[in-house]
Chains A and B, each alone.
Chain A
Amino acid sequence: MEKMPKHEKVNAERYVQLENVDMTFSTKKGDFNALKNINLNIKEGEFISIIGHSGCGKSTVLNLIAGLMQPTEGLLFCAGREISGPGPERAVVFQNHSLLPWLTCFENVYLAVERVFGSSSEVKETKAQLKVRTDAALELVGLTHASDKKPNEISGGMKQRVGIARALAMEPKVLLLDEPFGALDALTRANLQDELMKIMAKSGCTAVMVTHDVDEAVLLSDRVVMMTNGPSAGIGEILEVNLARPRARLALAEDPEYNHLRSEVLRFLYERHAKKAA
């Protein structure tokens, strides 16, 4: 905790904090300013969605929080500490699952568990304890039966579930999801969204999800962060989603509040910040 800034204590209201973040990529054609002046506070236990047209830099925001990139300007904090690189307290679920194809589902999850809780960590758990953790994570996503299968022996939805299990098994403070269900068909996606809602309710960890699916954003989130188009993209508007949890997909479909929120997002995306056809 020695890196904690003096003026800021661990504050549940500002659990993850982005302060005046600017991101400029240097490309062959010159500098490209992707993000400009991003300010965002995420509460502890909150589920945030970042939505915007493709190319608006929403994945960049996630990568910055993950620590996979460093901002050109500004600061990022997680639980009061400055984010200086990737770390297991900020687990990422990647869009294309990114499981290692030569390891079984169990081994893929175990790799993460071993790093966070194994002999090289501060906790130093035994192998049996690590195995219990891995099995528990796979059980949480309902994949105990596929534990010994390799990623290319299971379906796309199952792979993404293993990805979620791997992230959750690390017991992260913040779960970062980069278009987690983007590559899945609509039915599988709906299933996994429902499961993710249940899992998040159980674990209670903070989550930031990048998505381009309006329904997904409204259904899952406490707040929807809508981004303007790049270059120099910023946060256009933040929409509070005050729908009671647990949320049921079918009941919400006819809920006026849900439909109102949904059309708010749609209006933002397609009226005020419509992307010109490429």
Chain B
Amino acid sequence: MSATSINKESLKTIMQSTSTLVSKEAFVSQGEAMTTTANKVIATKLDASKSAISKNAISKSKPSQWVVQANSFLKWLIPPVFGILMLLAVWTLISHQSPNLPGPLKTWYSAVELFSDPFYNHGPNDMGVGWNIVASLKRVALGFGLAALVGIPLGFIIGRFEFASRMAAPVISLLRPVSPLAWLPIGLLVFKAADPAAIWVIFISAIWPMIINTSVGVSKVPQDYMNVAKVLNLSEWKIVTKILFPFVLPYMMTGVRLSIGVAWLVIVAAEMLTGGVGIGFWVWDEWNNLNVEHIIIAIFVVGIVGLLLELALTQIAKRFSYD
């Protein structure tokens, strides 16, 4: 509101000064002796007053610029805030219908209480939510790290050599659509322990996007670059480090981002089945305690951690882009 009033004010002053100028001009044109010098004098006067006007307008528009910035920030902020409010509204509505589901406010109080001491440790079956998140992140890091270690070089080989590509194609098409949890029994059988089995599930579900994106990247290397490599007679090592790797990096980072998303998605389900310490197990534990507030908090925690992982990797990917 203040912006429009200021604009009106400055507009008024501009209007006034131009009208005085116009009247001066009219006066001059009425005058019979219009020598060129007089004309010039008036012209300079006109210029001077014009610049004065524009200066005036600028100094008046300074606070309005700040307002414009605030406006655009509000415009940027309003839709997501509306979205969140909508979510809360639907949630409240449903919680009113079904008395077992706690509403947003009740959940919020519970969350405040929960996060006031996230890192307590009362034995392996009763640890703070912080420890559970850390345990899950550790598993994801391990499973995902192993998947990257195996998947990225594999992707390079598959992309580089036609034979390897055709060899891998049926295996990948066969295994990729398998639900991650279907791998859990195999893991339990082979490793005879819950924790490695959970890591195994992360590994096997996170590996595909990295293999596929890396190999697609390698197969998309422009023929021109490969011709350069041929003409320069570069060694395979130089081809990989100087041509393939820099070119494939953006593709690889896309694969890594997809993989970490999948890994974080799968960990909750895997931990529900394997038990131990972890956010997934925690959800199951709270379900057994019928502590529904905590389950809802866990959903938010999983969402927020996933979002942060995604953001971090996007930033890293930007760093590595050569454009």
Contacts and interface: CB of A to CB of B under 8 A. Distances in A.
Given A98-B228, A111-B242, A115-B234, 7 more contacts: A67-B230, A85-B230, A88-B231, A92-B227, A100-B243, A102-B246, A111-B238
A94 B230 contact: no
B66 interface: no
A111 B229 CA distance: 10
A115 B233 contact: yes
Mostly helix, strand, loop or mixed at chain A's interface? loop
Given A102-B322, A103-B242, A115-B238, A68 B227 contact: yes
B227 A112 contact: no
A98 B230 CA distance: 12
Interface string B232-245: 11110010001100
Interface of B: 224-225, 227-228, 230-235, 238, 242-243, 246-247, 322-323
A66 B225 CA distance: 15
Contacts of B235: 120
A101 interface: yes
Contacts of A88: 231-233
- Interface pairs A-B: 9 shortest CB-CB: A102-B322, A102-B246, A98-B224, A86-B230, A86-B231, A92-B231, A98-B228, A115-B232, A112-B232
A170 B233 CA distance: 11
A85 B230 CA distance: 9
Nearest to B227: A68
The size class of the interface chain A forms with chain B is 20 to 34
B248 to A, nearest CB: 11
Contacts of A96: 224
B263 to A, nearest CB: 29
A101 B224 contact: no
Contacts of A91: 231
Contacts of B243: 100
B233 to A, nearest CB: 6
A242 interface: no
B246 to A, nearest CB: 4
Given A98-B227, A102-B246, A115-B238, A87 B323 contact: no
A66 B231 CA distance: 7
Given A101-B322, A111-B242, A86 B233 contact: yes
Contacts of A115: 232-234, 238
Contacts of A100: 225, 228, 242-243, 246
A126 interface: no
Mostly helix, strand, loop or mixed at chain B's interface? helix
A42 B37 CA distance: 78
Given A96-B224, A100-B228, A101-B322, A87 B242 contact: no
B229 to A, nearest CB: 9
A155 to B, nearest CB: 17
A152 B231 CA distance: 22
A92 B233 CA distance: 12
Contact of A68 (B225, B231, B247): B231
A87 B225 CA distance: 15
A106 to B, nearest CB: 14
B301 to A, nearest CB: 39
B321 to A, nearest CB: 10
A226 B230 CA distance: 28
A152 B230 CA distance: 23
Contacts of A116: 232
Contacts of A94: 224, 227-228
Contacts of B247: 102
Contacts of B228: 94, 98, 100
Interface string A103-147: 100000001100110001000000000000000000000000000
Nearest to B320: A102
A88 B242 CA distance: 18
Contacts of A90: 231
A198 B146 CA distance: 57
B227 to A, nearest CB: 6
Nearest to A89: B233
Contacts of A150: 322
A120 B225 CA distance: 21
Interface-centre pick from A91, A102, A116 (highest chain B CB count, 10 A) = A102
A68 B231 CA distance: 8
Interface-centre pick from B231, B233, B243, B247 (highest chain A CB count, 10 A) = B231
Nearest to A113: B232
Contacts of B227: 68, 92, 94, 98
A87 B224 contact: no
Contacts of B323: 101, 152
Nearest to B224: A98
B222 to A, nearest CB: 8
Nearest to B222: A98
A13 to B, nearest CB: 26
A105 to B, nearest CB: 14
A87 to B, nearest CB: 6
A91 B246 CA distance: 24
Nearest to A87: B233
A20 B233 CA distance: 27
